[in-house]
Amino acid sequence: MPQCPVCNVQVFLKSDSGNPSMPTAPFCSERCKIIDLGRWLDERYNVPHIARNDDDGDEEIYPDC
């Protein structure tokens, strides 16, 4: 089972074995959803940019249609 990325509580994605699915998945609660959103908005998380060899900085020019 996956765990909440904020507090590491086990999250149930599907109803099984008497455990109902959690409507806030992949978070355990609405509180953890809001905490995670706040972290993104505060820029504590980021997506790294990996430069590629063909990324020479030239802008592509598109003709007017």
Q: What is the pLDDT of residues 4-33, one digit of tens each?
A: 999 999 888 877 767 777 888 899 999 999
| CA dist list (Å): 46 to 19, 22, 26, 51 | 34, 27, 19, 15
- Give me the half-sphere count of Cα atoms (radius 13 Å) on the Cβ side of residue 19: 11
Tokens representing residue 57 in the block: 């900085």
Helices vs. strands in the chain: H and E counts, helices first:
1, 0
- Taking a C-beta distance cutoff of 8 angstroms, is the pair 24, 34 a contact? no
pTM, two decimals, is: 0.61
